[in-house]
Structure 1
Amino acid sequence: MEEDNHLPTPATSSSSAATDHSDPSLQRKHAAMIERLSNLHQNRSTRKPDPESNSTTSFLSRFFQSKSSIESTLTRIRQTAEPQSDPTLKPELDNVSISITNLEKLVAENSFSLPSYEVRTCLKTVADLKQFVEQVTCEVIPRKKFAFKNKSAKKIPVQKDVAYENRMDTESQGSGFRILENSPGFRDKKNEDLVKEFNRDNDGEIREFVLSDLRHCDVRLMGCVSALFVNKLIDCKVYVGPVFGSVLIEEVENCVFVMASHQIRIHQAKGCDFYLQVRSRPIIEDSNSVRFAPYCLKYDGIEKDLEEANLGEETGNWSNVDDFKWLRAVQSPNWSILPENERLGTVDISN
């Protein structure tokens, strides 16, 4: 940098000595170059670094402060809440969900200036927080209204949904559906209409249900189930009433699903359409060409079933899809919103 300061002096002297003999246009160009060098040196000398401009350290500090605050709030709710008497629980949990959404937006806004490892770590943290808030919600929101008529609430333990979440995690890690061999369901069917109505007075308790190895089948499930497991379906149409807990879908192709649930996870889906009403954001992994639209199912008594399952309110989450294998800030190319002119109308499965 000191060489820049000394350049003007000899250059200026040479320029002065040559005033009577040099081309005037060359002199002007030379003077302009000297002025640029001088200004460049001055700017470098006075410019101060901005330590807060999108630095990784600043971002991580803000991110983990928010994460700790969210975890502290959820832990406090879980430890102190009285589900049967506290009307403030739902608004507080809704606020926590908003905080998690804002945290996810913060990662997206800073993703281009962060190392890829930090982006992956932060997105995984956000996903864990979403699961945490869903588990706490299942534990502390009153569950008595979920019971069937004339049956004891003891048949639907508060922790049951958490157990289903843990089971879903096990399923998604490659264990398949072997542990569900004795669960009721439709299996190994082709070209059939498969109908099941869950009778709230006679079934005794909410049951899980399995759909496995189906081809070219229409499936209609009316009433409520506790959890739904779907595996290896091709060219099927599946219409499902409310699911109290979670839905896990694996290895499906060219299918249509119409379902309402608290959580929906989709693995290895190709060319499928999903019409959803869901409490949390749908999750896809290793899927492509999947499209999403709002729930459109109807049957006699569905409004009451949705209310009992705490799924009567439209959350808009059907269009807020998380692709766990897509870590960039822009939307994943593996899913899209189903155009309105291609959507099903209301599907009535009463008859």
Structure 2
Amino acid sequence: MEADGDSLERHGRLPERLQKREQDRQRDAERKRQEKEGQVVLEEKSGYFRDSFGPEREAIDELLTGNGGGEEPGALEEVSARLQVLQKLLNDSMMFLPPYDIRQAQDTLTRLQAALEGKRQLLQPKKKFAFKSRRKAAAPASDLQPPGVGQPDASDLQPPAPGVSQPDPSSSAAVCDLQGLTGQVLRMEAAELRQKDVLLSQLRDCTITLRGSPATLHLRGLRDCRLLCGPVSSSVLVDGCSGCVFAFPCQQLRAHSSSDTRFYLHVTSRAIIEDCRGLSFAPFSWSYEGIGQDYEASGLDRDRNNWSTVDDFNWLARGAVSPNWSVIPEEDRITRWN
């Protein structure tokens, strides 16, 4: 009888075991179904990105290299606006695109932006200016502004120095270009920067303050400079810079071939670095009167900041932090900028 009792108990547990096995099978089937659906969604999103990005890139190329070569009225402004749309499309797609596709798309955007800048420099009339040196300590801050911030007096107009060229303040072209300067204190205000493409190149030991909301910001070959900039509507591209301190909000940051530079960053997508070393990051902490309006003009989300999310294209090891960048310790961060 005891044996019969054990048998009945085992038979009693049998449906329970079968039920558990069936539940496990259903969970496994549901997991596979969700994975399959997720893969389909990713493929659909990737396909949408490719179908949207490719034709728009071709349209921009046509505007820059077609019959008019970008010389038609408004053509370059249209290119700038379409580049911002492409950059936003890429930023919104980074969560599901593979790293190779992201890199190819960003390289394309960089190439198109460089072509746009080249066209603007060819078509835009230039005037030559010299800036007052920061060594003139007695000069008031209002005298240390670049062209377009007030009118320079006769003593400010000097013979052009090699490699130093500035846009005509009366020009309507949507670009600001400062290059080839050493030891200067430079400042531009909101009216000059609003939705302009700003290019700073080959600057040494300069302090640059940009109070406003430019469309894009390009920093090339800066050495031992400090830059404070208001909200940038789309991308900031940093190339060949070293020993600098940069502070700005933006939609997307890409740094290339740069070293030993600190970023105080507000970025709404993800920062990308390539061929860099010794970069460090902290949250954006600069402020000025009117920055709220500039945030609104830029369209950036003040509540979304991915300052410590950095993708290193030279470090693809999963689960290991890249040695090419770090977070600035709180005790070492700049909190007072003036």
Q: TM > 0.5 between the two?
A: yes
Shift of 1:317: 1.0
Structure 2 residue corresponding to 1:327, chosen from 313, 316, 331 = 316
More strand by share: 1
5 Å-filtered alignment, 1:127-206, equals: 127=102, 166-170=108-112, 178-179=118-119, 181=121, 182=124, 183-199=175-191, 206=195
Shift of 1:333: 0.9
Aligned to 1:123: 99
**Identity %, equivalent residues:** 29
d(CA) in 2 for partners of 1:239 and 1:74? 34
More helix by share: 1
Question: What secondary structure does 1:264 align onto?
Answer: strand
Contact 1:244–1:309 at 8 Å: present in 2 too?
yes
Shift of 1:308: 2.2
5 Å-filtered alignment, 1:201-212, equals: 206-212=195-201
2:325 maps to 1:340: no
d(CA) in 2 for partners of 1:291 and 1:75? 33
Shift of 1:168: 1.9
Question: What secondary structure does 2:252 align onto?
Answer: strand
Deviations 1:105-153 (A, max 9, x none): xxxxxxxxxxxxxxxxx4324x369x69xxxxxxxxxxxxxxxxxxxxx
d(CA) in 2 for partners of 1:76 and 1:168? 20
d(CA) in 2 for partners of 1:75 and 1:232? 33
Aligned to 1:273: 262
Letter matched to residue 199 of structure 1: A
Question: What secondary structure does 1:124 align onto?
Answer: helix
Contact 2:213–2:297 at 8 Å: present in 1 too?
no
Shift of 1:296: 1.0
d(CA) in 2 for partners of 1:180 and 1:299? 31
Letter matched to residue 184 of structure 2: E
TM-score, length basis structure 1: 0.53
Contact 2:268–2:301 at 8 Å: present in 1 too?
no
Question: Which ranges of structure 1 fall in alignment gaps of 5 or more residues?
Answer: 1-59, 79-92, 105-121, 133-164
Aligned to 1:231: 220
Aligned to 1:4: none
Shift of 1:184: 2.1
d(CA) in 1 for partners of 2:113 and 2:275? 15
5 Å-filtered alignment, 1:1-351, equals: 65-71=40-46, 101=95, 122-125=98-101, 127=102, 166-170=108-112, 178-179=118-119, 181=121, 182=124, 183-199=175-191, 206-329=195-318, 330-347=320-337
Letter matched to residue 204 of structure 2: R
Shift of 1:166: 5.0
Question: What secondary structure does 1:229 align onto?
Answer: strand
d(CA) in 1 for partners of 2:290 and 2:208? 18
Letter matched to residue 344 of structure 1: I
Shift of 1:278: 1.2
Shift of 1:179: 4.9
Q: How many residues align?
A: 216
Q: 1:128 to 1:237 in 2, by over 3 A?
A: closer
Shift of 1:247: 1.1
Contact 1:277–1:311 at 8 Å: present in 2 too?
no
Deviations 1:168-193 (A, max 9, x none): 24468xx8975563542221111110
d(CA) in 2 for partners of 1:288 and 1:63? 36
Contact 2:176–2:197 at 8 Å: present in 1 too?
yes
Q: 1:171 to 1:287 in 2, by over 3 A?
A: farther
Shift of 1:244: 1.3
Question: What secondary structure does 1:248 align onto?
Answer: strand
d(CA) in 1 for partners of 2:303 and 2:336? 16
d(CA) in 2 for partners of 1:321 and 1:314? 18
Question: What secondary structure does 2:203 align onto?
Answer: strand
Q: 1:215 to 1:128 in 2, by over 3 A?
A: closer
Question: What secondary structure does 1:233 align onto?
Answer: coil
Contact 1:232–1:252 at 8 Å: present in 2 too?
yes
Shift of 1:206: 2.2
Letter matched to residue 241 of structure 1: G
- Between structure 1 and structure 2, the one with the greater Rg is 1
Question: What secondary structure does 1:305 align onto?
Answer: helix
d(CA) in 2 for partners of 1:309 and 1:177? 21
d(CA) in 2 for partners of 1:285 and 1:208? 23
Q: 1:66 to 1:128 in 2, by over 3 A?
A: farther
Contact 1:303–1:312 at 8 Å: present in 2 too?
no
The ranges of structure 1 where at least 4 consecutive aligned residues each deviate by more than 6 angstroms after the TM superposition are: 60-63, 73-78
Question: What secondary structure does 2:334 align onto?
Answer: coil
Question: What secondary structure does 2:99 align onto?
Answer: helix
TM-score, length basis structure 2: 0.55
d(CA) in 2 for partners of 1:232 and 1:176? 19
